[in-house]
Amino acid sequence: MVDKTSNPVLLKVRGLKVAYGGIQAVKGVDFEVHEGELVSLIGSNGAGKTTTMKAVTATQPINDGHIEFLGENLKGRGAWDLVAKGLVMVPEGRGVFTRQTITDNLMLGAYLRKDKAGILADIEKMFSIFPRLRERKDQLAGTMSGGEQQMLAMARALMAQPKVLLLDEPSMGLSPIMVDKIFEVVRDVYAMGVTIVLVEQNASRALAIADRGYVMESGIITMTGPGQELLADPKVRAAYLGE
């Protein structure tokens, strides 16, 4: 993969600390994401990955640290402000609007936009990326399979025209066939030029497509490097790939 670390830094996190009821879940995390990168954050369940993503997107209060997006300090910013700026997350568990149709979910993803023609064009674009959604466009989201809901959640996030897209555990709970499809879609979205932060327990799949990776353990970053190098590292393979 092409080294993109000379590209502008879009997202920078320094000294991030997050606590739940006195328990320090994130203990001073540093990481950054450059324009055009696919960065994977891997770690076991409970390592602090999701908490870190929630803190970055202002859906979880932080105790200390500095988060910068597009050169601007995000302190005091609400989650809605960040979506408007282009920092968009697909949360763990998908969070689709179950009693709305697929098309309505996509429209809701563009709720901050005013360009009606552009919105309609992007819905068609989403249907081309996710053909299953076109087939079910008038179906209620709650009646779809988990994998189809994951596709919808990703498409809805893309409707917001993100500058950085954060994907939190997109393969969790899906069948092997659907996991393959989701990672194929992640690669397609990345190929479109979208900068991606991929949070995954499936370390081998996440690192295989990443420009760079971060390994998180017990609330701290313990390793970082190019995705392929981490994938080949004996410590990573022993801890996360069962070798």
Report the interhelical angle of 146-158 vs 116-129 (nearest 10°): 140
The mean pLDDT of 72-95, rounded to a whole number, is 90
pTM over cut 0.85: yes
The mean pLDDT of 145-158, rounded to a whole number, is 94
* In a domain? residue 223: yes
Instruction: Look at 26-30, 45-49, 120-124, 219-223 and tell me which has the smallest mean pLDDT.
Output: 45-49
Neighbours of 129 (CB within 10 A): 17
Per-residue pLDDT of 203-226, as tens digits, reads 999 999 999 999 999 999 999 999
Per-residue pLDDT of 155-192, as tens digits, reads 999 999 999 999 999 998 899 999 999 999 999 999 99
* In a domain? residue 4: no
Per-residue pLDDT of 101-145, as tens digits, reads 999 999 999 999 999 999 999 999 999 999 999 999 999 999 999
Look at residue 58 and tell me whether its pLDDT is greater than 60: yes
Question: ∠104-78-13 over CA atoms, to 5°?
Answer: 110
Q: What is the pLDDT of residue 92?
A: 84
**CA–CA distance, 133 with 63 (Å, rounded to integer):** 40
* In a domain? residue 151: yes
Residue 161 structural domain:
36-56+79-240
Q: What is the pLDDT of residue 22?
A: 82
Q: What is the pLDDT of residue 1?
A: 72
Look at residue 25 and tell me whether its pLDDT is greater than 60: yes
Which two structure tokens, joined as six digits, stand for 219? Answer: 């609330």
- CATH label of the domain that carries residue 166: 3.40.50.300
The mean pLDDT of 83-98, rounded to a whole number, is 89
Burial of 18 (0-12, 13-18, 19+ CB in 10 A): buried
Name the phi and psi angles at 198, rounded to 5: -110, 115
Look at residue 240 and tell me whether its pLDDT is greater than 90: no
Q: What is the mean pLDDT of the chain?
A: 93
Least Cα distance to 213 among 179, 192, 239 occurs for: 239
Contact in structure between 38 and 233 (CB atoms under 8 Å): no
* In a domain? residue 28: no
Task: Report the domain count for the chain.
Answer: 1
Q: What percent of the chain has pLDDT over 70?
A: 99
Look at residue 94 and tell me whether its pLDDT is greater than 80: no
Look at residue 243 and tell me whether its pLDDT is greater than 60: no
Name the phi and psi angles at 193, rounded to 5: 100, 5
* In a domain? residue 2: no
Residue 145 makes CB contacts below 8 A (sequence gap 6+) with 178
